[in-house]
């Protein structure tokens, strides 16, 4: 059906039967003492729209990518508020703030590791008698290479490279 022939209205009727969770939620929204049934229906639509609107706008194709992205940003803010409400009401850890805190802790930990590493290098330089003004010691020319006796690699006989043994190969 072409969009031009569509009505200017969308009719949405939904019947849910108890004990389904959908029926419990719809009954709560329609028969709540804290707000009217009309407000309850609007809250249901707001919750649905907060998730599906950017997807629907993208599919519809009437908005630019930047406009859809802006709509998605507003919707994410709405969803975050809903998550905050549930976490506060039911004393749950907030997965959004927990992730942000974990990322911050990880960043702090990385900074600490780097700081410690640089301090170790600085201490080693001070202990060697070098200063910022002293020239670096000469390293051997690369052509000389490094003498290795094989022990640096460990015992390769103990390493399983995942290749089948000759006996394990089926003809």
Averaged over successive runs of 10 residues, the pLDDT of the chain (171 residues) comes to 69 93 95 95 95 97 96 96 94 83 62 70 68 55 54 50 48 45
pLDDT of residue 106: 62
pLDDT of residue 96: 86
Long-range (24+ apart) CB contacts under 8 A made by 88-93 are: none
Dihedrals phi, psi of 112, to nearest 5 degrees: -65, -40
What gap in Å lies between CA 115 and CA 158, rounded to an integer?
A: 37
pLDDT of residue 156: 45
126 Cβ contact partners less than 8 Å away, ≥ 6 residues apart: none
The DSSP result for 102-164, as a single string, is HHHHHHHHHHHHHHHHHHHHHHHHHHTT--SSSPPPPPPPGGG-----SGGG--GGG---SPP
72 Cβ contact partners less than 8 Å away, ≥ 6 residues apart: 54
pLDDT of residue 119: 73
What gap in Å lies between CA 158 and CA 64, rounded to an integer?
A: 59
The total of other beta-carbon atoms located within 10 Å of residue 51's CB is 14
pLDDT of residue 159: 45
pLDDT of residue 4: 57
Sign of CA dihedral 66, 67, 72, 75: positive
Closest CA to 77 of 59, 110, 108, 54: 54
């Amino acid at each position: 059906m072409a969009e031009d022939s569509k009505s200017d209205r969308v009719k949405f009727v939904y019947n849910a039967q108890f004990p389904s969770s959908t029926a419990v939620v719809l009954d709560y929204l329609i028969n709540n003492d804290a707000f009217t049934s009309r407000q309850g229906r609007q809250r249901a639509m707001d919750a649905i729209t907060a998730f599906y609107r950017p997807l629907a706008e993208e599919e519809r194709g009437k908005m630019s990518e930047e406009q859809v992205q802006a709509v998605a940003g507003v919707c994410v803010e709405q969803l975050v508020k809903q998550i905050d409400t549930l976490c506060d009401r039911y004393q749950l850890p907030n997965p959004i703030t927990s992730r942000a805190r974990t990322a911050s802790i990880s960043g702090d930990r990385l900074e600490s590791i780097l700081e410690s590493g640089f301090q170790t290098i600085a201490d080693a330089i001070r202990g060697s008698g070098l200063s910022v003004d002293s020239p670096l010691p000469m390293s051997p020319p690369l052509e000389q290479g490094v003498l290795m006796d094989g022990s640096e690699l460990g015992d390769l006989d103990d390493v399983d490279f995942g290749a089948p043994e000759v006996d394990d190969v089926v003809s």
